[in-house]
Amino acid sequence: MFGLEITPVIAAITVSHYLIVGAILFVIGAVCMATKRNALGILMGIELVLNGANINFIAFGSPYLRDDNLGLDGQLISLFVIVLAAAEAAVALAIALNFYNNHNTIDIDRADELKG
């Protein structure tokens, strides 16, 4: 029933499927970074971008999807990405907090002292 109907619609999941999900998350993250005025919203956009990239690494390294895969390198690199993303979030939050303390707002458009 369920299996029979769905089979023709989606064939086996391949690396491309994962890459497409990764691409969508990446673009949404990029658009999020461009449109948000809230500093924290921009940070969330960055997280989405990194996440989209991570999906690519995992997909290329997955032994379930391709024989000729990256192996553990894919997972290792995504581990590094996760750790660095956490570090980046910590620094960015510290900046946001400082910005809030100095400007009493987290609207990024108000950070225009260097405009001259």
Question: Of 62-101, which residues contact another protein (CB under 8 A)?
Answer: 62-68, 71-72, 74-76, 78-80, 82-87, 89-91, 93-98, 100-101
- Return the structure tokens found at 99: 């910005």
Please report where in the chains the tokens 């769905």 appear, as a residue. 6
Would you count residue 48 as binding another protein (CB under 8 A)? Answer: yes
How far is it, in rounded angstroms, from Cα 39 to Cα 32? 11
Q: Can you say how many angstroms the Cα of residue 112 is from the centroid of all Cα atoms in its chain?
A: 27
What is the pattern of x (binds another protein, CB under 8 A) and - over residues 5-44? Answer: -xx--xxxxxxxxxxxxxxxxxxxxxxx-xxxxx-xx-xx
Specify the amino acid at residue 101.
Answer: N
State in angstroms the smallest separation of the CB of 116 from another protein.
21
